[in-house]
Each structure stands twice: as C-alpha cells, then as structure tokens.
Amino acid sequence: MQPTTGTERITDWLRAAGAERPAPVVDAATLDDLREGLDLLARAAAARVPDHLRPLRLTKATIDALLRCPRAGAARLAAADEGPRSGPLLVGALFEQVAHLIVERIVDPEADGPAGTFDRACAALAVASGEDVDHLVGDDARDLLEEQLFERVRRFRSSWRAPLHPAWWYRSEVPFEVAFGDGAAGPAAVLACRVDLSFGPTPPALGSGGRPRLLLELKSGRHDVAHLDDLGLYLLAAALVEGSAPVGGAVWWAAPSTPAPHGVLQTLPADAPTLQSAAVRVGRALEVAADVLGGRVATIPGGHCRFCPDRTVCPAAASSDEFGDAW
Ligand code: SF4
C-alpha cells in the first residue's frame, strides 16, 4: 500500500535504510582527500582576511548567500547569520522552531492558535539564536506572518504522526561544527551546522551527540532542489566530524505549494559525488568570503534578493515583481 502521510513516507525511508544496512559508500581515502583540500582552501582564504575575522565562520545560509551574490554573502558574514531577516526567511525560521517543538511533543499548535503559536515560536527562536524578532515585526506585518506561519504549521501537523519507525532513535536540532585548517592560532574556518532530525539505531551516550546514520531536513515552503545542497553540506560535515559518512539523508517539504497534501520526500545518498559536490561549494564560498572580507564586493541580483539582509539598501536589488514566483 502506498504511504499517505509524511511520517509514513519517512518511516518507509527509515525501514528501507535499516533493512538494507548498507556499508559506508565513501572510503577513508576519499574523506581524507576532501578534508585535506578544504584545510588548504581554508588556510588560503583566512590568510587574506584580517586577524579579527578569523576563523571564517560559515553556515548553510552564509554559503548559499556567498555563492549567489558576494555582497549578500558579505552582509550575512557581517550579521553572523543573526541579522534582520526578510518576511519569508523569518517565517521559515519560526516554522523550524515550531516543528522542533511538535517533534519533541512539547506543544499542540491547534490548542495555541495562530497568535499563541507565533508567540511560542518567537520565544523559541530567541532562546535558540538570541534573536529578538519583536523589533522586526510591525503590527501590520504580525497578522500576515501569524497567518503564514500557522498555515505552514497546520499542514505540517496534519502530516506528522509520532512516533516514527520504532527501530530508530532520533534527535532534533542537534548543533555541531567542523573546523578546517587547524593551526596554532586555532582553525582557519568553521562550518556550523544544525540538522533538523538526526537518526541513529540506538540512543547516544549521555552528553554525546551520537553517530547519525541518517539526516532529515524539514521544510515548510515550496519544493526547491537547492535545499538538497544544504543537506549535502550537512552530510559532508557529519562525515568529516565522525570520520565515516552517514548512510544518507532526505528533505521533507511538509507543506509545499503543490497539490500533494502530505508533501514531498526526496532522498540524497551520502556517496562520493554528494560529498565532493558539497566540498566544492564550501571551497568556493571560502574564496568568495576572502574576496568580500578583503573588499572585493560584487552584486549579482536575482530572486534571492528577497532573502538578502541588504535588500532595503542595495541599489542593485531586484524587485520581487521581476522574479515573482519563479524563485
Ligand atoms: S539585494 Fe540582491 S543584489 Fe543586492 S546584495 Fe542582496 S542579493 Fe545582492
């Protein structure tokens, strides 16, 4: 029988991954090559920026911004990824917080309603990132954001049925970092990650993150294959931190603007091409970061302008009319 809800799809994916029990598909020599290449690139990039800007601190959002538009990347680096968010990014960030609370069975959004859910999400975001969203949200915008958030949460909730596959233990919102180019003065660069759900066959020892075998990213917006690039970064980082690649990962777009009522699940193997492609993105982002922190800042407008921290002051910003829903 075809799975229907999102969690049934995820459970089927977990069952298949568990049943196949695949051996690691990326050998140690490949991981060593990736690590060595990124160490070199990180040292070269860090050597081009002032001391106080080291280590270069990257996240998936910073890397994405650097590769789309150097000025946007500079703005994200300056904001340490905590800067003012555009409406769509803010709703996405708030959704992540609510999804975490639902997954951990801490809240019932139906009982809280739109305003209560919004307040809880803001409070959770403040705890998770130190970000105070009150100053970003005017009275007019709040109604709209509340509505958008609750619609996404409602669709997510209608498709999320805990528990998942009983053989799998999972943990949500696990932060971890991988450092590159370690030296006497510390690392040259750091890639900071926070995975929505990490799955392992057994619970971790107390105080340990546990070795993740599968990673799952939860998305509330439209189906966008660019999210697979973000997942690839997490698979690479997990492989380098653990010294062995996870089995793979998936992205579940819980509430995409498609007719599919229970979203879309797309899997990504943690094989050599996936990890190499992620490493190329990290390497290119390091080079652009060194350029922009050294003063060479170019602008490349596009649909991504609507997520950019500089969108209200950048003279090159593309209007949303120009790109509309094509993004
Ligand atoms: S508004 Fe657009 S062109 Fe300007 S910095 Fe941001 S992404 Fe680049």
* Residue from 311, 312, 313, 322 to probe ligand 1 pocket by mutation (most atoms less than 8 Å from CB): 311
Residue 234 is assigned to a structural domain of this protein: yes
- Is the pLDDT confidence value at 82 over 50? no
Once rounded to an integer, what is the mean pLDDT over residues 272-278?
97
- Is the pLDDT confidence value at 2 over 70? no
- Is the pLDDT confidence value at 18 over 50? yes
- Is the pLDDT confidence value at 324 over 50? no
Closest ligand 1 atom to the C-alpha of 68?
7
Q: Which of 236, 181, 176, 190 is nearest to 36 (CA)?
A: 181
Closest ligand 1 atom to the C-alpha of 311?
1
Task: Note if the bond before 55 is cis, omega within 30 degrees.
Answer: yes
Residue 98 is assigned to a structural domain of this protein: no
CA of 229 to the centre of ligand 1 (A): 21
Cβ neighbors of 157 (< 8 A, separation 6 or more) are 102, 109, 110
Quick one: pLDDT band at residue 255, thresholds 50, 70, 90? Answer: low
- Is the pLDDT confidence value at 180 over 60? yes
Cα→Cα distances 120→90, 105, 185, 287, Å: 14, 14, 41, 39
Predicted confidence at residue 326, as pLDDT, reads 37
22 or 262, greater pLDDT: 262
* Residue from 76, 310, 312, 313 to probe ligand 1 pocket by mutation (most atoms less than 8 Å from CB): 310
**Considering only 30-39, 191-200, 236-245, 316-325, which range has the smallest mean pLDDT?**
316-325
CA of 290 to the centre of ligand 1 (A): 18
Residue 73 is assigned to a structural domain of this protein: no
Predicted confidence at residue 282, as pLDDT, reads 98
Once rounded to an integer, what is the mean pLDDT over residues 229-246?
92
CA of 122 to the centre of ligand 1 (A): 26
Once rounded to an integer, what is the mean pLDDT over residues 199-208?
57
Predicted confidence at residue 230, as pLDDT, reads 94
Residue 13 is assigned to a structural domain of this protein: yes
Predicted confidence at residue 273, as pLDDT, reads 96
Q: Cβ distance 175 to 192 under 8 Å? A: yes
CA of 62 to the centre of ligand 1 (A): 13
Instruction: Kindly report, residue by residue over 153-174, the tens digit of the pLDDT.
Output: 887 877 776 666 777 777 777 7
Tokens of 257: 């603007």
Residue 299 is assigned to a structural domain of this protein: no
Question: What is the rounded CA–CA span in Å between residue 231 and residue 46?
Answer: 25
Closest ligand 1 atom to the C-alpha of 71?
5
Question: What is the rounded CA–CA span in Å between residue 142 and residue 195?
Answer: 28
Ligand 1, atom 2: closest residue by C-alpha: 305
Cα→Cα distances 20→7, 13, 165, 247, Å: 20, 11, 15, 10
Residue 156 is assigned to a structural domain of this protein: no
Q: Cβ distance 105 to 162 under 8 Å? A: yes
Cβ neighbors of 306 (< 8 A, separation 6 or more) are 86, 88, 320, 323, 327
CA of 86 to the centre of ligand 1 (A): 12
Please tell me whether the overall predicted TM-score, pTM, comes out greater than 0.85 for this model: no
Q: Which residue has the tokens 């969108």?
A: 311
Question: What are phi and psi for residue 279, nearest 5 degrees?
Answer: -65, -35
Cα→Cα distances 155→141, 159, 250, 307, Å: 21, 7, 19, 23
Residue 272 is assigned to a structural domain of this protein: yes
Q: Which amino acid appears at position 236 of this protein?
A: L
Q: Which residue has the tokens 């993740």?
A: 212
Ligand 1, atom 7: closest residue by C-alpha: 305
Predicted confidence at residue 222, as pLDDT, reads 73
Question: What is the rounded CA–CA span in Å between residue 67 and residue 72?
Answer: 9
- Domain range for 289 is 6-59+164-293
Question: What is the rounded CA–CA span in Å between residue 273 and residue 270?
Answer: 8
Residue 184 is assigned to a structural domain of this protein: yes
Predicted confidence at residue 271, as pLDDT, reads 93
Closest ligand 1 atom to the C-alpha of 65?
7
* Residue from 76, 86, 299, 313 to probe ligand 1 pocket by mutation (most atoms less than 8 Å from CB): 299
**Mean pLDDT computed over every residue of the chain:** 82
When divided into structural domains, the chain yields a total of: 1
- Is the pLDDT confidence value at 135 over 80? no
Instruction: Kindly report, residue by residue over 261-271, the tens digit of the pLDDT.
Output: 677 889 999 99
